[in-house]
Structure 1
Amino acid sequence: MAKTAQERADEKAERLYYKKHKKPGKITLADVIFNVINYLVFALFTFICIFPFYYLFINTISDNELVRKGLINFFPRGIHFGNYVRLMAVNDLFLSTLVTVSRTVLGTALMVTASGFVGYLVTQKEMWGRSFWYRFIVVTMYFNAGIIPWYLNMSMLGLTNSFAAYVIPGIVAPYNIILVKTYIESSIPSELEESAQLDGASKMKIFTSIIWPLSKPILATIAVFGAVGQWNSFQDSLILMQSAPKLYTLQHRLYIYLNTTSNLAALMSSGSTSGISQTVLESALNGKVIKYTISMVTIIPILCVYPFMQRYFEKGIMMGAVKG
């Protein structure tokens, strides 16, 4: 039997009254204990995550002799910034930093663009050989020929001692393409594309005006992946740039500096210190400090960039992994 308008109005008024005057649930002792334990666990987890970076930093600005003896654990002592000043004096450090920044920006931009476009293409059912090409891209994730065939291939392609070796091989990233494809299929309604097609929009117009703006979370996510990988990349510089020291990356240059000080420390332990300046000897004595300082220099840029991408990162990686 259908309700009258008056009965429906009375029920609505009753619900509103109950919602306005209902009392909040009583907090029990179990709730308090659970909240306390929950906060303590997350506080401990946060401390565990932050403390290694804090430990590195305080050891780089503390007295080097105290650091060498392992006496700096929680608070800095004898604060100075000489380690960073000394590191800035490394030969060609500025040029290596410029190379690393350039490959990170350019390589990440090209990778994100290619991943977004290819990820969109493999969602199009009318694409010729769509299943084959998608599987062909995915299967490359499971096979690796090894360093020697990789080097021979790069050499035959003319990518040794060339800046292009930092950028071209990383443009196509199968894992990122999978993330973009999954995100588009699960998060962007197909009706938007169909509507644009009815209005006469081309595939490129749909991609640039609809798919690309709506895919910002997943694109920001793979941008973080790509930037971190490019910034920390070391092997390609070590193997491919043997005759082009001007193209050494920051990590490669700092690796050479660290090896030099380690070798000097070995010479000092054997008593062979003739002809070595006092400044160099002091650097060799503080090998641990040098390692800490180099670690901080390579980590700081990523720590500065990541917070700005965090709001996209979590949403993108979750949405991009909903289905395969």
Structure 2
Amino acid sequence: MREKGADRLFLIANAAVLSIVLILVLFPLLHILAASISDPQLVNKGKVWLLPRDLTFEGFRRVFRNEEIWTGYLNTIVYTLAGTLLNLAVTLTCAYPLSRKDLTGRTTVLLLLLFTMFFSGGLIPTYLLVKNLGMLDSIWALIVPGAASVWNILIVRTYFETEIPDEVHEAAMMDGASNLVAFARIALPLAKPIVAVMALFYGVGHWNAYFDALIYLSDRHLYPLQLILREILVQAQMNEAMKQSGGVLEGLAKQAEIAQLLKYAVIIVSTLPVLVAYPFFQRYFVKGIMVGAVKG
């Protein structure tokens, strides 16, 4: 079938918009990559855009020699894996019963969950709760308070309701399967797309998180990578501000340059795992994001 004029115009406009979005997304990444291996003086002067100038790998060498960065990297991996597994366990086991129409009190439970989306205890009560539970300066302070996301529970519940027919559950019950067996052997295998999407959402959230660590952790050996990166960024800004104000000591300019190199190098190192992992989840992500769009 030949495309109509309106269809061709739509495709052209769509391609133009997507090209603009691609440029807006790629430019910061390419700029950071170029700045991480360029002379920091040229970067500060705004002479580095997409291509590196006066190549130097001093920033990456310092990153690889910095024990705090590698400790933060390991901590972030542990927090991300443990947090994502806990998130998935809570989300899936909560969403599946709520998708079953024969669950007694399902509406009441849903209303209670929705209430928490609009009202929360706040930062201070949450901190006091974490403190009273003895979770300060531990991995549990970073993964337990955010173990359940009501929004994600509702998304997974919708997937179970729309993508798994009631007849499948009825057939399993007639064959003698319990609710636990039906969940483990029927619902979970059919829910791989939404599980992958939730794993991506939760994993990226844990990987980029730093505020909870800033509030609940005081032991530097437990700091995640993002908190180390935040310190490097703050230090670089302070050094640059002192340098421009004129109240600098000897060697501060060099320290500011090293901080600039470290800043961009750590950004590259910290974002690389997410960029590498995303293509493996992309096909599930596209399918899972259409949850409930087509039924029948």
TM-score, normalising length: structure 1: 0.82
- Offset of residue 253 of structure 1: 1.6
Out of 150, 154, 158, the residue aligned to residue 126 of structure 2 is 150
- Aligned equivalents of 2:7, 2:212: Cα separation in 1: 54
Query: Residue in 2 aligned with 1:246?
Result: 221
Deviates more, 1:61-70 or 1:259-268: 259-268
Deviates more, 1:140-149 or 1:64-73: 140-149
- Offset of residue 296 of structure 1: 2.3
1:134-176 per-position Cα deviation (integer Å, ceiling 9, x unaligned): 2212211111332222211211111111111122122221111
- Offset of residue 241 of structure 1: 0.7
Query: Residue in 2 aligned with 1:313?
Result: 285
Query: Residue in 1 aligned with 2:81?
Result: 105
Alignment of 1:147-186 (within 5 A): 147-186=123-162
Contact 1:179–1:320 (Cα < 8 Å) also in 2: no
Contact 1:182–1:322 (Cα < 8 Å) also in 2: no
Larger Rg: 1
- Aligned equivalents of 2:268, 2:183: Cα separation in 1: 40
Q: CA RMSD in A?
A: 2.5
- Offset of residue 258 of structure 1: 3.0
Mind listing any 5+ residue stretches in structure 1 that lack a counterpart? 1-23
Q: Does 1:210 align with 2:186?
A: yes
Q: Does 1:259 align with 2:239?
A: no
Change (3 A) 1:132 1:61: same
- Aligned equivalents of 2:124, 2:293: Cα separation in 1: 34
- Aligned equivalents of 1:194, 1:257: Cα separation in 2: 57
Q: Does 1:95 align with 2:67?
A: no
Query: Residue in 1 aligned with 2:52?
Result: 76
- Aligned equivalents of 2:128, 2:150: Cα separation in 1: 22
Q: Does 1:118 align with 2:97?
A: no
TM-score, normalising length: structure 2: 0.89
- Offset of residue 89 of structure 1: 3.2
Contact 1:220–1:309 (Cα < 8 Å) also in 2: yes
Query: Residue in 1 aligned with 2:113?
Result: 137
Query: Residue in 2 aligned with 1:4?
Result: none
- Offset of residue 267 of structure 1: 4.7
Identity across matched positions, percent: 35
Question: Which residue identity lines up with residue 149 of structure 1 in the other structure?
Answer: P
Contact 1:188–1:214 (Cα < 8 Å) also in 2: yes
Change (3 A) 1:238 1:36: closer
Query: Residue in 1 aligned with 2:28?
Result: 52
SS at the partner of 1:170? coil
- Aligned equivalents of 2:4, 2:210: Cα separation in 1: 55
Change (3 A) 1:196 1:156: same
- Aligned equivalents of 2:230, 2:189: Cα separation in 1: 40
Query: Residue in 2 aligned with 1:294?
Result: 266
- Aligned equivalents of 2:231, 2:7: Cα separation in 1: 56
Question: Which residue identity lines up with residue 153 of structure 1 in the other structure?
Answer: L
Mind listing any 5+ residue stretches in structure 2 that lack a counterpart? none
1:100-157 per-position Cα deviation (integer Å, ceiling 9, x unaligned): 1001011101111221111001122332322211221221111133222221121111
Contact 2:76–2:207 (Cα < 8 Å) also in 1: yes
- Aligned equivalents of 1:31, 1:181: Cα separation in 2: 36
Question: Which residue identity lines up with residue 227 of structure 2 in the other structure?
Answer: H
Change (3 A) 1:29 1:252: closer
Change (3 A) 1:315 1:57: same
Contact 1:237–1:248 (Cα < 8 Å) also in 2: yes
Change (3 A) 1:144 1:289: farther
1:54-111 per-position Cα deviation (integer Å, ceiling 9, x unaligned): 1211111122221111011232222232212223333422111111100101110111
- Aligned equivalents of 1:115, 1:204: Cα separation in 2: 15
Question: Which residue identity lines up with residue 56 of structure 2 in the other structure?
Answer: H
Contact 1:111–1:171 (Cα < 8 Å) also in 2: yes
